Amino acid sequence: MSDIVTLDVNDGVAVITLNRPEVRNAANAALAADVAAAVDEIDARADVRVTVLTGSGGTFCSGMDLKAFLDGERASLPGRGFAGFTDQPPKTPTIAAVEGAAVAGGCELVLACDMVVAAENAKFGVPEVKRGLVAVGGALLRLPQRIPYQLAMELILTGDLMDAPTAHTAGLVNHLTAPGTALDAALRLAHKIAANGPLALKASKEIMQRAPRWSPDEAYDQQRAIAQTAFESQDAKEGARAFAEKRQPVWQGV
């Protein structure tokens, strides 16, 4: 990775930072490749339990770098999606920490995350139609699952922006923070999650993501199959033992 994307890991939490503040963290081919490399590293590391995605310089991400696009660059990778992230985010629970604009592909990065912490002055939107483009980085698929269908349709077809308080009321944002503190709040949430059993976290996320594709007749069998590894793990025994002994569990991830 170059310095346009940074990856920091501390106490089970990985932070991916988009670092092109001079273009409001717009994504070009190099940024997409670096983000994909960061995701691969996270997925390969046993010590990462939660991932936070954020941007530097007071902006989350302004979407695709249009100048790079006109020069023939593409900000998407085959199988990985926009910015090397939207089609294949980390397997860990993932939190978007949003300051400033999260628009176009930047909004789609937010939608690829499992939770959202946003500054009160943050803005979200998919204005692709204003430029004759289509939001194929996940907004058309995910936004109607996160907020009411009619509201999602209006945002997509008008290209208008939604402020963070409205996004919070609509259910897109988990927590609102004062400007400049979104990352700190996201890290507090991330460490709270990371204190739990890593196998249970991954299984719970996988079940919740796959459940919409299961029929009612198969849902319980499917979730049991995924959860079985966690139930049979040493961590499950450690969790019960720690509860009985009135102490914090020491997870091994096995």
Q: Which residues are catalytic?
A: 108, 128
Tokens 């294949």, residue located: 88
Residue at 33: amino acid letter: A
Burial-class residue 250 by CB neighbours within 10 Å (0-12, 13-18, 19+): exposed
CA nearest neighbour of 145 among 213, 82, 79, 89: 213
Both structure tokens of 64 = 């695709």
Q: Which ranges of the chain would DSSP assign to H, the alpha helix?
A: 29-44, 66-70, 105-112, 139-146, 149-158, 164-170, 182-194, 198-210, 219-231, 234-244
User: CB atoms < 10 A from the CB of 42, how many?
Assistant: 21
Residue at 250: amino acid letter: V
Tokens 């988009």, residue located: 18
